[in-house]
Structure 1
């Protein structure tokens, strides 16, 4: 009888590993919805230009499948492996990834493929192109989290914050040369992780003011097309280059409450150039209406909520900071993309996570979700 009671107590006190299936299913649903919308928005132009209405869908589908496989594999690995030593190079994987990201950004500046007057891609031959700035976002999440994790008390003052900024500045400068919007996202990720880790929040107002001032100065003294985007934003109806944004606004307005119906957009028929990319949210609004647009935003809100739950229950500080960085990354891209499409801010090249066309983007975002799931898988609970 005593033995039976002891076995029952042991069963009651046994700990189990958690796995956030809600985050997994939300991610898979957004990927599936994104593939549907990519086909809907791109089938006409793909048939016209590529003679294959499923051209963009097939390419995105391959990247999505590979990304999902990578996500599931990463989710079952222990994220603490990133802090171990690599056997040959005697360097931590998290540091190696950051160094590789810097080297890839240097390579892009000299040997990158130029598309639409921007040199942001590396040619992979028949496999297409690779955008290393997407990898740099993951590297920033992991490396900033590592720096803060190694000396968490230093981040309680502005000196510690700028110390982190010094570590990340080479990557920000290299990316900002050709891709200011991604540089802004990386700055946002860095600030977000530091804000979460710091016990003192007041100095972030001063630090934020300095960062905004530097950004404004770079905007005014940098390439002319950046300032031109501000001018387009201020007068989109009359500016000669405001066509894409204006047509996107027409798409949103014509969608009404319930939309014109899936696949029945008129603006995607050449009026919104490359609608499957950064402007895909405008076609969602047109075809699915306000109801569809709000539903998509709520799905992202739920995904961000699940990341928040993982972050506050993470088994250690590093896991919590990683998940917080991923949360900030997703939230920033959703906010910026929706704001650009609705002309609330000047135009930038930030895709809508999991939905906009872009093989590198969706694959990297799925790997990030795999890392978040890996953190969740290390959470223990008793029952």
Structure 2
């Protein structure tokens, strides 16, 4: 829970007059940055609601709800301190709040349990390691066991989205593809019975996450079915998304669908798909501030270059290959060898491919030798930077470039 959301919650009337007074005191302390005093005021509100009882289950439902809500807000205060121990304390308090609320308000209890899982995930996200992610996964699996995909569609989808996000994050730090596969399945299951009108933001989040995972896996596996699923899902989001209200997420969806179309178009030699992919990448690139996000801008240039190379195979005129060379050159202005050697080597080798095509068409041995040199230097740069597997994948291009140079020399 962030500062503004917590401040808003403390301003909502809750409990009897004394509870409301303590919560107002907590709100004032929070606004002044006195987190310890805010927590103390909420703790006193809890004690007032408990009233000396040794059996909380015997308290009236309303009082149990007051106690649980105050404990949840204390969790929010812990979370604002942004230290690993504070995050752990927040997660523990959310768990206690969920148990306190319990059957008195099952939907609220589940929502607080979801907040607990997200706090655990943030522990790993903000401070590294996988312990927080692992704990969140365990908690979310347990939460899902008590949810029905039809009767509790929104809560079920929310938990699936949180689990998918956590699994995706774990996949990023471990490189385990199976985690992405499970995350994809969680998204598919979560959105299956969720109607967009029930929870628009959740539907958008799940659908975009599904699209991103499907594109990533589809590219890695060269799986056209997954890529087509990604296009369908992302197109459904883009068709109803107001770009002006949430441009950042709109651009992500546009970028992902363009990647899927580029991969499909390249394998199928489908010029229409390739043109749509190029236009999509270009729309995103125009919206990215190069000075603020130079590497993101360069990535888009590199991707546009790849699409142009694929399109060039369908055109007789060399101008498309020339454009590709220029676009890769723009990417290399930001992808510098001294700062990002792998990205520099990747774009340099990618630029060599349209050089080879042009050299072959023009019978130009000088351009062919330049392409050969760029690929060889890129391979060496990758090896020196510790990316031997990436270098290995370029060896086939090196052999082709060498054969082209030799053939042109003999000619």
Tell me which interval the TM-score lies in, with the shorter structure as reference length: under 0.3
| TM-score using structure 2 length | 0.26
Greater helix proportion: 2
Greater strand proportion: 1
